[in-house]
Amino acid sequence: MPHAELKYSADLPIDAPAILQAIEETIQKHDAGSGSCKGRSYPALHFHHSHMLVEVALLTKPHRDQAFSDALMVDLESVVKSYIPVSCYFSLEISYSGDTYMTNMHTVE
């Protein structure tokens, strides 16, 4: 299950839930088996220069090679920027979780 985090200056007039949904859909276009993407957004009330940092983390899988990462990076940049209606600094990182990362579902009945 991928994770996506938006960290941005609070002056940006963005729809963070829509961006997170678009990130999930973009990941799924590249990897239909990726599942849901857990998304979070963190607007910074105090900042220096308007900016957006997008961090996407995925599990390491054989098919997620450099070509996959390069293509996903291009598409994520394009889709996220389409939701930012003003000029700002922009950063994007795709990272891969290692063997010491685990994910599952905690269910309470």
Residue 56: inside a domain: yes
- Residues 78-97 have a mean pLDDT of 97
Read off φ and ψ for residue 33, nearest 5 degrees. -90, 10
- Residues 80-92 have a mean pLDDT of 98
Contacts of 64 (CB under 8 A, 6+ apart): 31, 58, 96
Percent of the chain with pLDDT over 70: 100
Residue 104: inside a domain: no
Map residue 24 onto helix, strand or coil. helix
- Residues 13-37 have a mean pLDDT of 97
pLDDT at 105 over 90: no
Give residue 45's domain range.
3-97
For residue 21 the two structure tokens come to 């949904």
Residue 106: inside a domain: no
Residue 105: inside a domain: no
Predicted pLDDT at 1: 86
